[in-house]
C-alpha cells in the first residue's frame, strides 16, 4: 500500500495558484486573437437558424466537452427556450464499439458523420494536438459531405487545423489548459447563439 504523505497545504496552494494563473494567461492571450472564434459563432447561428444541426466530437476530455456543449444547446444555457439541434458523436457506445471493433477506431466519428451529416450541418472536431486521427477523419468526412467544418485545437492546429473551414487555436501546448479554454469557448458560443436566436423571457 502506498504510504500517505502528510498533506502540505502550502504546496497545494502554490500548485493551485500556478495552474489558475497559467490558465488565465492562456485565456488573456486567446482574447487577443478572437477572429476565428467570432466566425464560429456566426457559423453556428446561421446553421441552427436554418434548421441544421451540429455534430461535435473528440476523445477523452474532449469527448466530455463535446457532450457538455451539445447538452447546453439541446437543454438550456441561460434561459428556457426551444431546443437546438446538437449531437455529441461520443455518446453512442454501441456505435463506437461496433465501428471500432468491426472496422477501425480511426473512423468512429467519420462513420457517424456519414450517417447523420447533411450539407449545411456543422461538424466540430475537438483535438488538443490537432492530430487525433479519428477527429481528422471525422472532419474529412464532414468536408466531403458538404458540412461546415470547425476544429478546436491547441497552438499549432495540426492536420485538423489544416483541413477545417475554421480553426480556433488555443495558444498553449498543455492539454489541460487547452481543454479549459475549449469549454469556455463552448459556453460563450452557447450564450451568443441562444441570445441571437431566442428572446430571453422577461
In a domain, 15, yes or no: no
Range of the domain at 46: 35-197
Prediction pTM value: 0.95
**Predicted local distance difference test score (pLDDT) of residue 2:** 73
**Dihedral sign of CA atoms 92, 95, 97, 103 in order:** negative
Q: Total structural domains in the chain? A: 1
Radius of gyration of the chain measured on its C-alpha atoms: 18
In a domain, 16, yes or no: no
In a domain, 23, yes or no: no
Q: Which CATH number characterizes residue 58's domain?
A: 3.40.50.10490
Angle, vertex CA 103, rays to CA 70 and CA 135, nearest 5: 35
**Predicted local distance difference test score (pLDDT) of residue 1:** 64
Buried residues in 162-194 as b, exposed as e (16+ CB within 10 A): ebbbbbbbbbbebeebbbbbbbebbeebbebbb
Taking the C-alpha atoms of residue 183 and residue 65, their distance in angstroms, rounded to an integer, is 6
pLDDT tens digits for 97-133?
999 999 999 999 999 999 999 999 999 999 999 999 9
List, as one string, the DSSP characters of 150-172: EEEE-SS-HHHHHHSSEEEE-S-
CB 157, CB 3: distance < 8 Å: no
In a domain, 145, yes or no: yes
In a domain, 125, yes or no: yes
Taking the C-alpha atoms of residue 8 and residue 124, their distance in angstroms, rounded to an integer, is 41
**Predicted local distance difference test score (pLDDT) of residue 202:** 75
Q: What residues in the chain have per-residue pLDDT under 50?
A: none
**Predicted local distance difference test score (pLDDT) of residue 13:** 97
Amino acid at each position: 500500500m502506498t504510504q500517505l504523505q502528510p498533506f502540505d497545504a502550502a504546496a497545494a496552494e502554490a500548485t493551485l495558484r500556478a495552474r489558475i494563473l497559467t490558465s488565465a494567461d492562456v485565456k488573456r492571450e486567446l482574447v487577443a486573437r478572437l477572429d476565428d472564434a467570432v466566425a464560429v459563432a456566426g457559423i453556428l447561428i446561421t446553421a441552427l437558424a436554418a434548421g441544421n444541426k451540429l455534430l461535435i466530437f473528440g476523445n477523452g476530455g474532449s469527448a466530455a466537452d463535446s457532450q457538455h456543449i451539445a447538452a447546453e444547446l439541446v437543454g438550456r444555457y441561460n434561459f428556457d427556450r426551444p431546443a437546438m439541434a446538437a449531437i455529441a458523436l461520443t455518446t453512442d457506445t454501441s456505435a463506437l464499439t461496433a465501428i471500432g471493433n468491426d472496422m477501425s477506431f480511426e473512423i468512429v466519428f467519420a462513420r457517424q458523420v456519414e450517417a447523420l451529416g447533411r450539407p449545411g450541418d456543422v461538424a466540430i472536431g475537438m483535438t488538443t494536438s490537432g492530430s487525433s486521427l479519428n477527429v481528422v477523419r471525422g472532419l474529412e468526412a464532414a468536408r466531403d459531405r458538404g458540412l461546415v467544418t470547425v476544429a478546436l485545437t491547441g497552438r499549432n492546429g495540426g492536420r485538423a487545423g489544416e483541413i477545417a473551414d475554421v480553426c480556433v487555436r488555443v495558444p498553449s501546448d498543455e492539454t489541460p489548459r487547452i481543454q479549459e479554454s475549449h469549454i469556455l469557448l463552448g459556453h460563450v458560443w452557447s450564450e451568443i447563439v441562444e441570445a441571437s436566436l431566442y428572446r430571453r423571457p422577461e
